[in-house]
Chain A
Amino acid sequence: MDSSFYLVQLLNAVQYGLLLFLIASGLTLVFGVMGILNLAHGSMYMIGAYLAYYFTFLTDNFFLAFLISGAIALIIGFIIERFLIIHLYKRDHLDQVLLTVGLIFVFNAIQSFVWGNDPLGVEVPSLLSGSIKLTDIIEYPVYRLFISGVCIVVAVGMYLIINRTKLGMMIRAGESDRNMVENLGVDISKLFTIVFAIGVLLSALAGIVSAPIVSLVPGMGEHVLISCFVVVVIGGLGSIKGAFVAALIVGLVDTFASVLLPEISSMSIYLLMALILLVKPQGLFKN
């Protein structure tokens, strides 16, 4: 195994880490600002992927499907917040767990009813279907680099919005002291709706861009939810910067443990989480 082997693995790790960040960012954003732990976050990932499949099938254009699916995800987020989550702000986390676990079942049933239980796949759009030759055997698919690009754009976009805009200011204020924000005359309910819808959009976006490289199967949302929680817990619940750093660390550990320590690879990221929590019980970047 020469140096090119490690370089390609590093690329795999960063690419996986960025995708993890995209999935986890919405979860941590919603928790940070609203204090809502959305267990149905993985379901949004699943719905995003299935919507992308469906509209690619209908329009024969992945990018159009990308836009339509994203818009629908925003609307779903809006509806869930306005009609369901809104009743939970004054209640404890257990009620939120009940509702959002219930939503997992609802979305799984919708998925099974509308799209069936057979595994489905989306073709990589022809514009991005090429690959770049890395070694004499390995070619790196351009589409995977495109996904990394999307993740970076989202990360930078979130950074700019949170640090440079009025909305971001309110989000940051909401994270540190919700009551104070409300007392200062900010319409907190509107802010919550926007933040929740963005959270759903981010998760669905991860599902949409992953659709061509994953297989669409029932329960795909629950699988990502677990890695997603690991990232959010390591990074510190509610911290977006933490989620970014944690996602990259998890990507690195998972990738290299798979090939260098295969015996413990299934527990590697949980070991990492346990170690980090021993030193920093609140996660890396808890406010």
Chain B
Amino acid sequence: MSEHTGRTAIVTRTEVILLILAIAALGVLLMFGARAHQPFASAEVQFTDASAHGLAIVPASCPSSPDYPGECGQQCTPSTTCVNATTQRNTSATCAVSDTICPAGWSCDSGACVQPPAIGFYSFPATGPNGNFQATGHLQVSPQLIAAGSTTHAYWSVSNVKSCTVTGTNGDSWTGASSGASGKVTGLVNSQTIYTLSCIGLDGSPTPSLNETVTVNIIPTFQEQ
């Protein structure tokens, strides 16, 4: 038993020493790495030279590279294209190419970075307890004036959103971008109730979120005294 404990202790010490050696080796490598990453700041040509009357001439050196066969003479029409769904490529008049990643949520289409559309509303033919009507897409409750203890219907239809929820102060709650043509039947409404539509727009959208409210009122009742 004691022999086993002794062996374990020796192995643990060895491991610790090995780990320290590994970290030290890594440190040395890191130092060499940092040293290696200090390229000699070089210029193939001076930036400017003076002409006979003192104006600044700027030589270039493009054809010096054997990797650019003919490219320095190539005449490019400046253009922008899409490399993939989110990266735009610009080609300059001297045929230099540079890639730009579109802002978060934007997409690249026909060479341009396109912002996602703003939150929108779809009008739709709705059916309700009081007959058919054309819903606007905005949050609507019909009928909006009801007797205490009865129910009503909520309608909405929103586009270009990540998610939407509709909540009522009476505890009602629904999710989704649309209520459907027949709307959502509310729970019992016993007192004035406020319904709120909350939506989150697409990433990068000009309308990151949206809130709309509709108030349902109770028909007052009168009692003769």
Q: A and B bound? A: no
B residues adjacent to A (C-beta < 8 A): none
